[in-house]
Amino acid sequence: MATAYPRIHSDIVAENEAFFAGGVAPDAIRLFDSFDKRSSHFYDDQDAATWSTSSVVDTCIRERIPDLAHVRASRRSRVWMYGYLAHIMADVANWTHILKHLPPFPAERGAHHGVWLLADRFTVPEADRWLNLDSVPYGNAPPWVIMPPVSRLLRTLVMYVLPQTDPWIAEAAYVRHNSDLRQAEPLNLLEPSIHSSVLAIRDRYRAEWEDNVRLAAEFVPASAWSEFERSAIEGSIGAIRLLDKRVGI
């Protein structure tokens, strides 16, 4: 991106906290505010006609952004939206390339959970495992995004999940316990280090989680993960560029 889209790259690097916060905002307001999937993510996961870049961006603008001039003028506000749209397009890539191999939830519930576990194993550079929570510019968030839900999820990720390099410990720190695995809710009861309670959760569920990973691998071919990664990146860049075009940059 640095070579192909230098201005977008430099904006994201300069406003990394805004991009990170924007990236967790869609799930944060769905989990901890009054939004449902459609109103927070601007697509219907059961309607592939709503998954295109243009549909997502234009629905977002039409339904949620009253002041395009402000987005154009404020780099931080723009980068919040870059992160927000990147999250959505990664979700779309998941539906397009991964979940199509599974029967609709709740059938094969274990395989669905195994997909979550495998997705969490994408490499996260060490520098991206930490964020200064005090520097997140909540005042530049999109107008429908309020601070408490985003702060709650950000704090859980930064303090409890991202520091862990062992995938089983990371999962123990981010237990998905909702009856619908697509409505994951992190626990807020764990220490930021490898606390005994984290180890107890890992040891209790590890065998089940390992079975779920094996089951997911039986359904989802390895090539699908490469397609998912490519599609998530290309979709995110496409959505960001289209937003810039719509706001006049």
Instruction: Classify the C-alpha dihedral 139-141-144-150 as positive or negative.
Output: negative
Q: How confident is the model at residue 193 (pLDDT cuts 50, 70, 90)?
A: low
What is the CB neighbour count within 10 angstroms for residue 108?
18
Got the DSSP string for 110-147? HHHHHHHHHHTTS---GGGG---GGG--GGGS-TT--H
Q: Where are the domains of the chain?
A: 1-98+132-143+223-249, 104-124+162-219
Structure tokens at 137: 């510019």
Q: How confident is the model at residue 158 (pLDDT cuts 50, 70, 90)?
A: confident
Judge whether 93 and 85 are in contact, CB under 8 Å.
Answer: no
Q: Dihedrals φ, ψ of 119, to 5°?
A: -65, -35
Rounded CA separation 231/97 (Å): 8
Residue 177 has pLDDT above 60, yes or no: no
**Nearest by Cα to 85 from 248, 249, 241:** 241
Q: Write the Ramachandran bin of 19: left for phi over 0, alpha for psi from -120 to 50, otherwise beta.
A: alpha
Average the pLDDT over 114-138 and give the result: 90
Global pTM?
Answer: 0.90
Structure tokens at 144: 């429908």
- Amino acid identity of 167? P
User: How distant is the alpha carbon of residue 39 from its chain centre?
Assistant: 16
Query: pLDDT tens for residues 61-118?
Result: 999 987 898 899 999 999 999 999 999 999 999 999 999 999 988 889 999 999 999 9
Rounded CA separation 233/225 (Å): 12
Helix, strand, or coil here: 72? Answer: helix
